[in-house]
Amino acid sequence: MNILAIETATPRCSVALQAGPEIRVRAEHAPRGHATLLLPWIGELLAEAGLAYADLDRIAVGRGPGGFTSLRIGLGVAQGIALAHDLPVAPVSSLAALALAADPEAEHERILALIDARMGEVFVGAFARGPDGPIALGAERVLPPDQLVIPEAGRWLLAGSGLAAYPGRIETRLAGSVAARQPEAWPEARQVLVIGRRINPVPAWSVEPVYVRDNVTS
């Protein structure tokens, strides 16, 4: 299967391409660079693999939650390519991609994925380890760090920029439930690709960004 994946929900911009068994990746921390990086990277990866857009089977894209502007850039590129070449799209939770990035060897039973939402809040998703990737334990939410709630008893891996932004408040709130920490983990296109090839794609026109809250920020 040939799959193009895009993830732009956070300042970490990334693109991945699976061509047969091989996966190629471009990734960079570029808070204001998503719009200028995506199409050149995609062109490079396709050229390296000897593929054209018409050779793709689907596009996987991180659908958020995340930054308003960066998220719309990634979704816009994914939908534009998909509509132009009649390709289906697999929308993937950016929090699920973060959970997979933080625990690639599936060493932890429970993962709390946290993306900095700014304005004193975090986007949060709770996941259990599954045979085919992270399994969501409830709805994704946005809330202040000191209102975090663990949906199940046990020890949790905490991961993401939300933890990096508010380590003290989160550690205090979840004292006794923390098994490990990965504050440097980001959702990336490689994980979006892995999840996106396992789910049923949808028509490109139907894909919508997931902001979680109405008052979004870039």
69-125: pLDDT as tens digits? 999 999 999 999 999 999 999 999 999 999 999 999 889 999 999 999 999 999 999
Q: What was the pLDDT predicted at 213?
A: 78
- Domain range 94-182, its CATH number among 3.30.420.40, 1.10.1740.10, 3.10.105.10, 3.40.50.720: 3.30.420.40
The pLDDT tens digits for 153-204 are 899 999 999 999 999 999 999 988 999 999 999 999 999 999 999 999 999 9
Q: Reply yes or no on whether the pLDDT at 218 is more than 50.
A: no
Domain with CATH 3.30.420.40 in the chain: 2-93+187-206, 94-182
Instruction: Give the mean model confidence (pLDDT) for residues 36-48.
Output: 98
Claim: this prediction has a pTM higher than 0.85: yes
Q: What was the pLDDT predicted at 167?
A: 96
Helix (H) and strand (E) counts in the chain: 6, 11
Q: How many CB atoms are closer than 10 A to CB 168?
A: 8
The pLDDT tens digits for 96-108 are 999 999 999 889 9
Q: What was the pLDDT predicted at 194?
A: 97
Q: Reply yes or no on whether the pLDDT at 217 is more than 50.
A: no
- Domain range 2-93+187-206, its CATH number among 1.10.3720.10, 3.90.180.10, 3.40.50.2300, 3.30.420.40: 3.30.420.40
176-207 exposure pattern, b = at least 16 Cβ within 10 A, e = fewer? ebbeebbbebbbbbbbbbbbbbeeebeebeeb
Q: Decide: 115 and 122 in contact? Cβ < 8 Å.
A: yes
